[in-house]
Structure 1
Amino acid sequence: MSKSSSASDSLNLRLYFAWIVAIISTLGSLYFSEIAGFEPCKLCWIQRIFMYPLAIILGIACFRNDRSISIYTLPLTMIGGIVSIIHYSEQKLGLFRGICQSGIPCSGEYINWFGFITIPFLALIAFVLITVTLMIDLVKARKSA
């Protein structure tokens, strides 16, 4: 196997990993709201706005082996991650209280596994995994070009 073929294969695996994380996150959020009955707050909806397209865009990129996808998806992952940090900070530290003034409170915790894992924390982990994976892809693609 040639060096370029090996680099292409590992690049593809990273892209598939990012796509699988996006799919699991999307299905997980749908499970929490549609099956478990947890109503999403405003910040949950904003995080979904940034995650759901990733499941589609990264899937298309996998099938097309589109290595330039990082440029288009990193803004979604980074902004989504920032929203997750804001949401988690509101839940655990009481910061940003004014965001959810009506409807479902953003400070509510439907789950609290091990005292720190909440739904926004799970979203943050997904956004970070996808971001790091795509950034590695971007760096590797630039080095091989």
Structure 2
Amino acid sequence: MNTETPPSFLARYYLFLAWIVAIVATGGSLYLSDVMLLEPCKLCWYQRIFMYPQVILLGIAAYHNDRRIVRYSMPLVILGACVAIYHYAEQHIPALSRILPCTTGVPCNKPYFEWFGFITIPFMALIAFILIALLLWRGSRAADAIVYEDEEIE
């Protein structure tokens, strides 16, 4: 009698799903700047710096099913989320623009657009960073639990 439970969907595909989120976020960023011709502000560039490498890192990790990527990818995701939180807050709290002002180029505190009154470009970036972080965290925990169960059976 086989008592093994098959791995959950999340445990099996978390790297692939995180990679898809990074591709969509990067594609959206490039679409906004290259097709819609919206010039990124200074804080947008920092968010890009933390998101763009995720496409390559998570893609390679998903291809090789290398769970060790979590320890390398998560710091980039957390730092990118922190920049996105600050950027979103700066757009909604005018006093924050004096702390780290965008003195050249596009102002960071003026949103290009707001959907439903609160969804801005930094908000979408924050959602992408959070999704990647949650997928990596929960997926690696689920995958570790399966490895642990396999070791107990043997």
Same fold (TM over 0.5): yes
Q: How far, CA to CA, are the matches of 1:95 and 1:68 in structure 2?
A: 41
Q: How far, CA to CA, are the matches of 1:29 and 1:57 in structure 2?
A: 18
Q: How far, CA to CA, are the matches of 1:30 and 1:53 in structure 2?
A: 14
Q: Say if 1:79 and 1:95 are closer, same or farther in 2 by CA, change over 3 A.
A: farther
RMSD: 1.8
The residue that corresponds to 2:57 in the other structure is 57
Give the SS at the match of 1:107: coil
Q: Say if 1:94 and 1:140 are closer, same or farther in 2 by CA, change over 3 A.
A: same
Q: Is the 8 A contact 2:78 2:129 kept in 1?
A: yes
Give the SS at the match of 1:30: helix
Q: TM-score, normalised by structure 2?
A: 0.86
Query: Percent same amino acid at aligned positions?
Result: 49
Question: 2:4 is matched by which residue type in structure 1?
Answer: K
Equivalent residue runs for 1:48-87 within 5 Å: 48-87=48-87
Q: Is the 8 A contact 1:19 1:59 kept in 2?
A: yes
Q: How far, CA to CA, are the matches of 1:48 and 1:40 in structure 2?
A: 9
Q: TM-score, normalised by structure 1?
A: 0.91
Question: How many residues get paired?
Answer: 144
Question: 1:118 is matched by which residue type in structure 2?
Answer: T
The residue that corresponds to 2:16 in the other structure is 16
Q: How far, CA to CA, are the matches of 1:14 and 1:21 in structure 2?
A: 11
Q: Is the 8 A contact 1:12 1:65 kept in 2?
A: no
Equivalent residue runs for 1:3-42 within 5 Å: 3=4, 6-7=6-7, 10-42=10-42
Structure 1 residue runs of 5 or longer lacking an equivalent are: none
Q: Larger Cα Rg: Structure 1 or Structure 2?
A: 2
Shift of 1:82: 0.4
